[in-house]
Amino acid sequence: MSRRGGPPEVNAGSMADIAFLLLIFFLVTTTIETDAGLDRMLPPIDPPDEEQVVIKQKNIFTVNINKNGQLLVEEELTNLKDLRKKAITFLDNGGDGTCNYCKGRKDAASSDNPTKAIISLKNDRETKYATYITVQNELVGAYNELRNREAQRLYGRNFTQMESEYLNPETPSNIRDGLKDKVQKVQELFPQKLSEAETSSSK
């Protein structure tokens, strides 16, 4: 007796089950979330040859963190919550009157111009990392707040929003090019000058 209609069909009913099994495996192992954090640039180890620039003391905003997490801001014991406000007052001061967008008090004893103002951060070797991050966060926040203000004035939107759109690789390149100039313009108004000294060891 000869078989009719060729070889019998393979039963594919369990294919869906197998595919489901694989699907569930990949679903479980997938991590789509991206990390976020504070971006920082370290200073190069041997600075390019340039003459020592003398920085006036009044243009430096010193922040010291001791091993117990206490803050010494401009030789004054300060609460962490007041740091942002103090940093903004310092950056936005515009002491020599050359800064036409500053809204500070124009105090002659504080910083001359936001482009000259430097924040110097110093910490102890035993400072907790969490405290350090909080301080960093507040200082970056101070810059962001001022940049947001200027971006609102010039372009009617927030700097942080513009920057994240600019950095997002999914933004179309024509929009990105337009944003690039704006982002740089605002960054130049309040350049982030955050210097970190070597950590001191406590005795």
Minimal CA–CA distance to 184: which of 157, 155, 163?
163
Could you tell me the CA-to-CA distances from 8 to 3, 4, 11, 84, 128 in Å, in that order?
10, 9, 9, 77, 72
Q: Is residue 35 near another protein by the rule CB under 8 A? A: yes
Q: Is residue 38 near another protein by the rule CB under 8 A? A: yes
Shortest gap between Cβ of 19 and another protein (angstroms)? Answer: 4
Report the distance separating Cα 107 and Cα 88, nearest Å. Answer: 13
Element (H, E) at 162: helix 159-167
Residue nearer to another protein on the CB measure, 64 or 110: 64
Among 10, 12, 53, 54, binds another protein (CB under 8 A): 12
Shortest gap between Cβ of 97 and another protein (angstroms)? Answer: 30
Shortest gap between Cβ of 161 and another protein (angstroms)? Answer: 12
Binding-residue pattern over the window 159 to 198 for another protein, x denoting contact by CB under 8 A:
-x--xx--xxx----------------------------x
Could you tell me the CA-to-CA distances from 88 to 38, 70, 133 in Å, in that order?
19, 20, 18
Q: Is residue 123 near another protein by the rule CB under 8 A? A: yes
**Cβ 159 vs Cβ 150: under 8 Å:** yes
Q: Is residue 77 near another protein by the rule CB under 8 A? A: no
* Pairing verdict, β 118-123 and 60-65: parallel
**Cβ 145 vs Cβ 84: under 8 Å:** yes
Residues that bind another protein (CB under 8 A): 12, 15-16, 19-20, 22-23, 26-27, 29-32, 34-45, 69, 80-81, 123-134, 136-138, 140-141, 144, 160, 163-164, 167-169, 198-199, 201
